[in-house]
Structure 1
Amino acid sequence: MDCRRMLCVLLCMIYMLHVTGLWWAMGRHLVLDPGRICRKTRRLRGKQNLICTKEPEVVTAIGEGSRMGILECQHQFRFRRWNCTTAKRSLKKVLTRDTRETGFVNAITSAGIIFSITQACSYGQLLDCTCERNAPPAALTAAPIQDTAAEGRWEWGGCSDNINFGYRKSKEFMDDRFRRRSDLKTLLLTHNYEAGRLAVKRYMKVVYKCHGMSGSCAVKSTWRKLPLFREVGNFLKEKFDGAAKVMPGNDGQGFIPEGATIKPPDREDIVYTEESPSYCEPDKKTGSLGTQGRHCNHTSIGVDGCELLCCGRGYEAVRRTSRINCNCRFQYCCEVQCETCDKRQTYSRCL
Structure 2
Amino acid sequence: MRPQARSQLALFFILLCPVNIIGLWWAVGSPLVMDPNSICRKTKRLAGRQAELCQTQPEIVSEVAKGARLGVRECQFQFRFRRWNCSSHSKYFGKVLQQDIRETAFVYAITAAGVTHAVTQACSMGELLQCGCESPRSRAPPRPAGTPPTDGVRWEWGGCGDDVEFGYEKSKQFMDAKRKKGKSDIRTLIDLHNNEAGRLAVKNYMRTECKCHGLSGSCTLRTCWRKMPQLREVGERLLQRFNGASKVMGGNDGNTLIPVGQNIKPPDKQDLIYTAESPDFCLPNRKTGSLGTRGRPCNSTALDVSGCDLLCCERGHRDETVELEENCLCRFHWCCVVQCKKCSVRKDLSLCL
TM range (shorter): 0.7 to 0.9
Distance 2:266 2:189 in 1: 15
- Contact kept? 1:210, 1:220, Cα under 8 Å: yes
- State the match for 2:35 in structure 1: none
Distance 2:138 2:68 in 1: 27
Any idea what SS the aligned residue of 1:319 has? strand
Figure out how many residues of one structure are paired with residues of the other and give that number. Answer: 317
- Contact kept? 2:15, 2:65, Cα under 8 Å: yes
**Matched residue type, 1:108:** I
**Matched residue type, 1:301:** L
2:35 is the alignment partner of 1:34: no
**Matched residue type, 2:147:** T
**Matched residue type, 1:210:** C
2:150 is the alignment partner of 1:169: no
Which residue among 80, 96, 99 is the counterpart of 1:97?
99
- Alignment map for 1:83-94 (pairs within 5 Å): 83-94=85-96
How far the C-alpha of 1:343 sits from its partner, in A, is 4.6
How far the C-alpha of 1:106 sits from its partner, in A, is 0.3
Which residue among 236, 239, 264 is the counterpart of 1:237?
239
- Contact kept? 2:7, 2:46, Cα under 8 Å: no
Which residue among 193, 200, 203 is the counterpart of 2:202?
200
Any idea what SS the aligned residue of 1:178 has? coil
- Contact kept? 2:120, 2:162, Cα under 8 Å: yes
How far the C-alpha of 1:108 sits from its partner, in A, is 0.2
User: Compared with structure 1, are the counterparts of its residues 300 and 176 closer, same or farther at alpha carbon in structure 2 (3 Å cutoff)?
Assistant: closer
- State the match for 1:9 in structure 2: none
Q: TM-score, normalised by structure 1?
A: 0.83
Distance 1:347 1:172 in 2: 45
Any idea what SS the aligned residue of 1:316 has? strand
**Matched residue type, 1:134:** P
- Contact kept? 2:14, 2:42, Cα under 8 Å: no
**Matched residue type, 2:62:** T
How far the C-alpha of 1:116 sits from its partner, in A, is 0.4
- Contact kept? 1:73, 1:84, Cα under 8 Å: yes
How far the C-alpha of 1:319 sits from its partner, in A, is 2.0
**Matched residue type, 1:290:** G
How far the C-alpha of 1:326 sits from its partner, in A, is 10
User: Compared with structure 1, are the counterparts of its residues 321 and 170 closer, same or farther at alpha carbon in structure 2 (3 Å cutoff)?
Assistant: closer
2:84 is the alignment partner of 1:82: yes
Distance 1:185 1:54 in 2: 30
Distance 1:89 1:216 in 2: 60
User: Compared with structure 1, are the counterparts of its residues 124 and 305 closer, same or farther at alpha carbon in structure 2 (3 Å cutoff)?
Assistant: same
| Identical pairs, percent | 50
Gaps of 5+ in 2: 20-38, 330-341
- State the match for 1:182 in structure 2: 184
How far the C-alpha of 1:84 sits from its partner, in A, is 0.5
- Contact kept? 1:203, 1:231, Cα under 8 Å: no
Distance 2:98 2:195 in 1: 15
- Alignment map for 1:221-232 (pairs within 5 Å): 221-232=223-234
Distance 1:86 1:155 in 2: 46
- Contact kept? 1:210, 1:219, Cα under 8 Å: yes
- Contact kept? 1:32, 1:86, Cα under 8 Å: no
| Alpha-carbon displacement from aligned partner over 1:165-209 (angstroms, at most 9, x marks no partner) | 111111112225037342001000100000000000122121112
Distance 2:326 2:46 in 1: 53
Any idea what SS the aligned residue of 1:177 has? coil
Distance 2:319 2:193 in 1: 44
2:258 is the alignment partner of 1:247: no
Distance 1:171 1:137 in 2: 27
Distance 1:76 1:265 in 2: 22
**Matched residue type, 1:164:** E
- Contact kept? 2:125, 2:132, Cα under 8 Å: no
How far the C-alpha of 1:130 sits from its partner, in A, is 1.9
Distance 1:290 1:325 in 2: 31
Distance 1:348 1:45 in 2: 47
Gaps of 5+ in 1: 1-16, 328-339
